[in-house]
Amino acid sequence: MTFERPAGTVISVSRDDAHRFSKPVVGSIRLLAGIGVEGDSHAGATVQHLYEKKRNPLARNLCQVHFMAAELFDDLAPTGYIVAPGELGENVTTAGIDLMTLPLGTRLHLGAEAVVSITGMRSPCSLINGYQKGLMKQLVKTDAAGTVQRRGGIMGIVVTGGVVNPGDGIRVELPVGEQLPLGVV
């Protein structure tokens, strides 16, 4: 038996055929099973991130689709950081789901067909400070107890392909059994 969380919504979708920091917002994206976002520079069965590709070009691509919560943008605004969908390199900007608390293996059902299995948290890199100076400290924080809180979004692999549009619903299917926290991918 699987348990589901309340549905969220796709706010925006983005893709870029080149390895640039931000991705332009588009009208829709097509997810390809085992590959990622059609036409995106990070699409592929093996790792496409330039740094990781140099280290192990045959590694499985666990970062086919990048999700970011629009609520993060709202949280950043009072600190002086104005961020819009796609500007942090995400493919899907969501609302209504606390992405960072989802367990490993959660399946996000997007629109009518697409399904993405969550593989881990994004590992924000120093390029974020090149986009907006000091922003990295807002996305990776350490509390008084030394616990690191990451807010750079989550990554996943495409299980079932399909077209994803802004306004599409998102159904959250939690994994059966022990629910493991997300690690960094």
Distance from C-alpha of 117 to C-alpha of 66, rounded to nearest angstrom: 11
pLDDT band with cut points at 50, 70 and 90 for residue 2:
low
Per-residue pLDDT at 172 exceeds 60: yes
The pLDDT score that the predictor gives to residue 7 is: 83
Q: Is residue 118 domain-resident?
A: yes
Residue-wise pLDDT for 53-97, tens only, equals 899 999 999 999 999 999 999 999 999 999 999 999 999 999 999
Q: Is residue 101 domain-resident?
A: yes
Q: Is residue 24 domain-resident?
A: yes
Q: Is residue 123 domain-resident?
A: yes
Per-residue pLDDT at 48 exceeds 90: yes
- What is the pTM (predicted TM-score) of this model? 0.94
Residue-wise pLDDT for 132-152, tens only, equals 999 999 999 998 999 999 999
Q: What is the CATH number of the domain that holds 49?
A: 2.40.33.20
Q: Is residue 181 domain-resident?
A: no
Q: Is residue 18 domain-resident?
A: yes
Q: Which of 132, 15, 145 is nearest to 82 (CA)?
A: 132
The pLDDT score that the predictor gives to residue 6 is: 47
Q: Is residue 80 domain-resident?
A: yes
With 0-12 CB in 10 A as exposed, 13-18 as middle and 19+ as buried, what is 53?
Answer: middle
Name residue 69's beta-bridge partners: 94
* Two tokens, residue 88: 């942090």
Q: Which domain holds residue 98?
A: 4-173
The more confidently predicted of residues 28 and 127 is 28
Domains identified in the chain, total number: 1
pLDDT band with cut points at 50, 70 and 90 for residue 43:
very high
3-state class percentages of the chain: helix first, strand second, coil last, to nearest 5:
15, 35, 50
Q: Is residue 184 domain-resident?
A: no
Instruction: Read off the DSSP letter of residue 35.
Output: T
Average pLDDT over residues 128-134: 95
